[in-house]
């Protein structure tokens, strides 16, 4: 029970593909109407209908000769969502659902941002205060507010846009401030898929995925949720992704659980020393059987913690255990028995450090700051691996604590977005 009210409270976001034509718009409105009839308190977030934003963007690029100011472009791009809220709210009312729309020019507008036009960052404390003051009473009065996704407003009244994934960001911020029971993201797929349907012939929907796993796919080019939006996913509120084709907000889809770490930090990712095994040769990458043999031998003896490879070398980072000599000799035999491999080397007693958290991929030059700080303090980096949401570093085990402190000091130097800190729920 929340705020003394036992009614289910949900935030529903309709993507542009879900509103692309009359039939899809009608199905979306019907889905909300059916859910409202159950007594559910609903907040609706809408994207621009169909390809409206793309059309506006292309039109302005072709007519402004690149001379349009960013704040002017944001005002124009916001028109897609601002049209959608008016259409959707009117359609709900004609279906017997009391509804209102909230436009960024309204006094009740809840999403306040900085002035980073075209990729603005919400000011969470201000957003929370305004949502609880202006939106929550509307919801609790059984009125369905329809709010423009992707759009924000600065403290001095200028319209901004939130960048990629902006409508999802809007939905997540609303859900946390409203203490919703659920967020439903309505799209044109049956959930988060095992592969991009434009590339894979038989992808299947995933029943559940943790947000820390999903963030690794977010910027892959597939139509997953953008990593910037995932930063705002509330820790304790489930998010489900469902297909608009069902016309039912209760439909099952992919459940997104968990939340991302809210601050950049570094930790020792493996509690004991790590060994680095390097195999060099000529065109090793063109002989997958060699790689397979090495991995099979490794799996039989220890845990593989990381791996990097180019055409002429393979580097494995493995958990260092007793009697590692047997594994080293087996990999050495593989090296001797294949013309593509020439020699191997082993470095023991390495520490495995992991840097992760919100804002990592948007903090420019972070890897350079970390590596320079370690270099100046005479700490060698034996390996570095990067993915969307983390930086993996390997340094001497004896210098692990010093390296931790140096990396933490590097993380404090960039100007990070302090507005991403979450407010705790009572």
112 is in which domain, residue-wise? 9-257
Residue 4 lies inside a defined structural domain of this protein = no
Task: Mark residue 374 as left, alpha or beta (left: phi above 0; alpha: psi -120 to 50; beta: remaining).
Answer: alpha
Q: What is the mean pLDDT of residues 93-113?
A: 97
User: Which band of pLDDT confidence, cut at 50, 70 and 90, is reported for residue 66?
Assistant: low
DSSP 422: P
The verdict on 141 and 80 lying in the same domain is: yes
The verdict on 209 and 69 lying in the same domain is: yes
Q: Provide the pLDDT for residue 259.
A: 86
Find where tokens 């303090």 sit.
377
| Weakest mean pLDDT among 12-21, 118-127, 159-168, 219-228 | 219-228
The verdict on 297 and 214 lying in the same domain is: no
Q: Is the pLDDT of residue 421 over 50?
A: no
| Strand, coil or helix: 78 | coil
Q: What is the pLDDT of residues 210-253, one digit of tens each?
A: 988 887 776 554 556 887 888 899 999 999 999 998 889 999 89
Domain termination site, one of 208, 233, 257? 257
| Strand, coil or helix: 241 | strand
Q: Provide the pLDDT for residue 281.
A: 95
The verdict on 248 and 308 lying in the same domain is: no
The verdict on 75 and 96 lying in the same domain is: yes
Q: Half-sphere exposure of residue 247, counting CA atoms within 13 Å on the CB side?
A: 9
Residue 1 lies inside a defined structural domain of this protein = no
Residue 305 lies inside a defined structural domain of this protein = yes
Question: Whole-angstrom Cα distance, residue 315 to residue 182?
Answer: 44
Residues 6+ apart with CB under 8 A from 7: 39, 40, 41
Sign of CA dihedral 319, 324, 327, 333: positive
Q: What is the pLDDT of residues 106-143, one digit of tens each?
A: 999 999 999 999 999 999 999 999 999 999 999 999 99
Q: Provide the pLDDT for residue 231.
A: 87
Residue 25 lies inside a defined structural domain of this protein = yes
Q: What is the pLDDT of residues 183-204, one digit of tens each?
A: 999 998 888 988 877 788 888 9
Question: Whole-angstrom Cα distance, residue 8 to residue 38?
Answer: 9
Domain termination site, one of 238, 257, 276? 257
Query: Which tokens go with 362?
Result: 């948007």
| Weakest mean pLDDT among 160-169, 206-215, 268-277, 341-350 | 206-215
CB atoms within 10 A of CB 367: 16
Residue 76 lies inside a defined structural domain of this protein = yes
Q: Provide the pLDDT for residue 223.
A: 55
The verdict on 42 and 172 lying in the same domain is: yes
User: Which band of pLDDT confidence, cut at 50, 70 and 90, is reported for residue 385?
Assistant: confident
The verdict on 44 and 16 lying in the same domain is: yes
The verdict on 232 and 333 lying in the same domain is: no
| Strand, coil or helix: 204 | coil
End-to-end CA distance of the chain, in Å? 13
The verdict on 223 and 322 lying in the same domain is: no
CA 132 to chain centre: 25
Q: Is pLDDT larger for residue 172 or for residue 323?
A: 172
* Among the listed residues 156, 157, 172, the one whose alpha carbon sits nearest the alpha carbon of residue 43: 172
Burial of 34 per CB tally in 10 Å (0-12, 13-18, 19+): middle
The answer to whether the CB of 232 falls within 8 A of the CB of 421 is no
Number of domains composing the chain: 2
Q: What is the pLDDT of residues 274-320, one digit of tens each?
A: 999 999 999 999 999 999 999 999 999 999 999 999 999 999 999 99
The verdict on 107 and 175 lying in the same domain is: yes
Query: Which phi and psi (to 5°) does residue 101 adopt?
Result: -110, 155
Considering only CA atoms, give the Rg of the chain. 25
Q: Provide the pLDDT for residue 367.
A: 86
Q: What is the CATH classification number for the domain harbouring 58?
A: 3.40.1160.10
Q: Provide the pLDDT for residue 47.
A: 95
Q: Which residues pair with 343 in a beta bridge?
A: 280
The verdict on 34 and 111 lying in the same domain is: yes
Q: Is pLDDT larger for residue 330 or for residue 323?
A: 330
Global pTM reads: 0.80
Residue 3 lies inside a defined structural domain of this protein = no
Q: How many helices (H) and strands (E) does the chain have?
A: 13, 18
Q: What is the CATH classification number for the domain harbouring 338?
A: 3.30.2130.10
Domain termination site, one of 257, 289, 316? 257
Q: What is the dihedral of CA 61, 64, 68, 70, to 10 degrees?
A: -10
| Strand, coil or helix: 10 | strand
Find where tokens 């680095």 sit.
276
Query: Which tokens go with 98?
Result: 């009391």
Residue 107 lies inside a defined structural domain of this protein = yes
Query: Which phi and psi (to 5°) does residue 9 adopt?
Result: -125, 125
Question: Whole-angstrom Cα distance, residue 47 to residue 168?
Answer: 9
Mean per-residue pLDDT over the chain, rounded: 89
Question: Whole-angstrom Cα distance, residue 33 to residue 247?
Answer: 10
Query: Which tokens go with 3?
Result: 């705020």
The verdict on 182 and 38 lying in the same domain is: yes
* Among the listed residues 418, 296, 397, the one whose alpha carbon sits nearest the alpha carbon of residue 351: 397
Question: Whole-angstrom Cα distance, residue 18 to residue 50?
Answer: 8
Residue 426 lies inside a defined structural domain of this protein = no
């Amino acid at each position: 029970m929340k705020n003394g009210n036992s009614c289910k409270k949900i935030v529903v976001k309709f993507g542009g593909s879900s509103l692309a034509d009359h039939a899809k718009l009608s199905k979306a409105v019907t889905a909300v109407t059916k859910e409202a009839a159950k007594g559910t308190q609903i907040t609706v977030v809408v994207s621009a209908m169909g390809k409206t934003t793309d059309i506006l963007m292309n039109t302005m690029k072709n007519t402004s000769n690149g001379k349009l100011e960013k704040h002017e472009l944001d005002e124009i791009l916001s028109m897609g969502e601002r049209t959608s809220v008016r259409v959707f709210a009117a359609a709900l009312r004609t279906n017997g659902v009391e509804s209102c729309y909230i436009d960024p020019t309204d006094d009740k507008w809840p999403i306040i941002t900085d002035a980073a036009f075209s990729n603005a960052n919400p000011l969470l404390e201000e957003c929370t205060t305004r949502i609880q003051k202006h939106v929550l009473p509307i919801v609790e009065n059984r009125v369905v507010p329809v709010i423009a996704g992707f759009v924000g407003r600065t403290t001095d009244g200028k319209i901004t846009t939130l960048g990629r994934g902006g409508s999802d960001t809007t939905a997540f911020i609303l859900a946390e401030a409203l203490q919703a029971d659920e967020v439903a993201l309505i799209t044109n797929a049956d959930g988060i898929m095992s592969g991009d349907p434009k590339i894979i012939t038989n992808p299947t929907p995933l029943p559940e995925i943790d947000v820390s796993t999903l963030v690794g796919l977010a910027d892959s080019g597939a139509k997953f949720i953008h990593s910037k939006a995932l930063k705002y996913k509330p820790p304790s509120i489930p998010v489900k992704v469902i297909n608009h084709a069902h016309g039912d907000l209760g439909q099952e889809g992919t459940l997104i659980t968990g939340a991302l770490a809210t601050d950049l930090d570094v930790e020792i990712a493996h509690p004991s020393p790590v060994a680095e095994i390097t195999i060099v040769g000529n065109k090793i990458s063109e002989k997958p059987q060699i790689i397979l043999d090495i991995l099979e031998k490794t799996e039989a003896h220890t845990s593989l913690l990381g791996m990097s490879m180019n055409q002429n070398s393979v580097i494995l980072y493995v958990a260092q255990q007793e009697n590692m000599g047997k594994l080293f000799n087996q990999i050495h035999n593989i090296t001797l028995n294949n013309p593509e491999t020439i020699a191997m080397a082993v470095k023991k007693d390495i520490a495995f450090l992991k840097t992760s958290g919100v804002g990592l991929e948007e903090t420019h030059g972070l890897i350079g700051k970390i590596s320079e700080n370690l270099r100046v303090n005479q700490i060698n980096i034996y390996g570095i691996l990067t993915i969307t949401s983390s930086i993996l570093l390997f340094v001497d085990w004896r210098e692990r604590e010093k390296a931790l402190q140096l990396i933490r000091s590097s993380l404090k130097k960039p100007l990070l977005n302090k507005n991403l800190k979450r407010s705790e729920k009572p």
